[in-house]
Amino acid sequence: MDKFTSLSGVAAPMPLVNIDTDMIIPKQFLKTIQRSGLGKNLFDEMRYDDDGAEIPDFVLNQPAYRQAQILIAGDNFGCGSSREHAPWALADFGIKAIISTSFADIFYNNCFKNGMLPIVLPQDQVDILMEDARKGENARIAIDLESQIVTNADGLEFHFQVDPFKKHCLLNGLDDIGLTLEKVSSIDAFEAASTQARPWV
């Protein structure tokens, strides 16, 4: 998993509330267990018409936001089923951070496991960032995980909270496997001692 330390880029405004995981990645795309390749199906029913053509009005189809790495979202982002394909699709598209007033718990935790940073801010601060995002490429947002600060294009700083353990994992690029490998020497020592003490096992 890539390390997340800081990020500066264009943010796409998605003011809808209750964007659920089926809107993020519809159920017909859940057959794969591969994390790659799902970005093209992100927000499929909002991005494409029945013939598979792009819907021009959808934010991620607009030229200013095709390379967006940040989403500014409405309340309760990621609600619905617990499918991990939702953060997979966002990450594969190129989204590295999502800012909202609240997230569904399972989706929130899955973001960290997939190298994305979900940021919770008060409504008034999200409103400011949403207005900035509507300016497209003329307004870039900066995120510094170490200092836990979001900075808008005008230099306004918003401090966010993040669990220290989750922060450590993102800063060091550690998923569940990476965390286990950090303890590999202790695991090897335990197994060696256990084998010597109980050779019959």
**Which carries the bigger pLDDT value, residue 49 or residue 31?**
49
pLDDT number for residue 178: 62
Is 45 contained in some domain? yes
Is 170 contained in some domain? yes
Give dist(CA 176, CA 34) in Å, integer: 17
pLDDT above 90 (res 17):
yes
**CA angle at residue 80 from 79 to 83, to 5 degrees?**
100
Q: 75-107 pLDDT, tens per residue? A: 999 999 888 999 999 999 999 999 999 999 999
What pTM, to 2 d.p., does this model score? Answer: 0.88
Is 1 contained in some domain? no
Task: Count how many domains the chain has.
Answer: 1
70: domain CATH number is 3.20.19.10
Is 13 contained in some domain? yes
pLDDT number for residue 24: 97
Read off φ and ψ for residue 135, nearest 5 degrees: -80, -5
Is 112 contained in some domain? yes
Q: 166-189 pLDDT, tens per residue? A: 999 999 998 766 665 555 667 666
Is 57 contained in some domain? yes
Per DSSP, what are the bridge partners of residue 9? 141
Domain extent for 31: 6-197
pLDDT above 70 (res 36):
yes
Give me the residue label for tokens 């019959």.
200
